[in-house]
């Protein structure tokens, strides 16, 4: 069976958000059997400067063998990660429009908090969002989302189709307008196999 790869970007996240990301994956990872753990991987996009912290947390939660860190500046690594990932995990109140666009164009559903910067691009046709209450609740809900999508490939397939459709609806149209030199339109906020090891 193909690997189940979760892609996340932790650039400029708070320490709490980084902890939530790592703990959510670890909680998901340790709540499946060894047979399934062999398929599950976390790929972290790093812009530099936080790699040691990511490795420390991966070691702390005993998931180092299932974590890989790639540089955002390596176009080939990023393209490969986007191509092989199953979903994009963004446990943050901030978001990169460029990364969301790339994820949707690669048919990746997005798991994140229900905040305006995410909700203006993502709805329940192409992602899963919830309002932040506490770190413990966030870890529990995010890990449950991961587990649900892992064990329900049809649900994942539907979200992937929705992600590609959302990209075509929002971003491809937006890029066409920009290339034509026309003004941007504000989006409606109502719409809403590689060796996976950390490297230094």
Architecture of domain 4-179: 3-Layer(aba) Sandwich (3.40)
* CB atoms inside a 10 Å sphere around CB 62: 11
Query: Over 50: is that where the pLDDT of 187 sits?
Result: no
pLDDT at 111 over 60: yes
pLDDT at 186 over 70: no
Contact 196, 66 (CB under 8 A): yes
Residue 182 has pLDDT above 70, yes or no: no
pLDDT at 154 over 90: yes
pLDDT at 97: 87
The domain spans of the chain are 4-179
- Summarised one tens digit per residue, pLDDT across range 114-146 is 998 899 999 999 999 999 989 999 999 999 999
Phi and psi at residue 70, to the nearest 5°: -120, 155
Higher pLDDT, 149 or 173: 149
Q: What is the average pLDDT value for the chain, to the nearest integer? A: 85
Angle, in degrees to the nearest 10, between helices 153-179 and 97-105: 120
pLDDT tens, position by position, 24-52? 999 999 999 999 999 999 999 987 778 88
* 15-29 vs 135-151: helix crossing angle, rounded to 10: 40
**How many Å apart are CA 175 and CA 156, to the nearest integer?**
27
pLDDT level of residue 198 (50, 70, 90 thresholds) = very low
Whether 13 contacts 53, CB under 8 Å: no
Q: Report pLDDT for 180.
A: 46
Q: What's the predicted TM-score (pTM) here? A: 0.84
């Amino acid at each position: 069976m193909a690997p189940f790869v979760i892609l996340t970007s932790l650039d400029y996240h708070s320490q709490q958000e980084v902890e939530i990301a790592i703990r959510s994956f670890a909680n998901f990872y340790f709540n499946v059997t060894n047979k399934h753990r062999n398929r599950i991987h976390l790929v972290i996009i790093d812009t530099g400067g936080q790699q040691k912290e990511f490795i420390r947390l991966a070691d702390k939660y005993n998931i180092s063998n299932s974590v890989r860190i790639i540089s955002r500046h390596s176009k080939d690594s990023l393209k490969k990660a986007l191509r092989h990932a199953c979903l994009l995990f963004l446990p943050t109140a901030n978001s990169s429009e460029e990364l969301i666009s790339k994820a949707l164009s690669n048919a990746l559903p997005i798991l994140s908090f229900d905040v305006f910067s995410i909700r203006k691009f993502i709805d329940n046709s192409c992602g899963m969002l919830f309002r932040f209450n506490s770190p413990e609740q966030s870890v529990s809900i995010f890990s449950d989302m991961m587990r649900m999508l892992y064990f329900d490939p049809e649900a994942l397939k539907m979200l992937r189709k929705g992600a590609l459709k959302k990209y075509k609806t929002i971003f491809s149209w937006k890029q066409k307008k920009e290339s034509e030199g026309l003004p941007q339109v504000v989006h409606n906020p109502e719409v809403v196999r590689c060796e996976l090891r950390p490297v230094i």
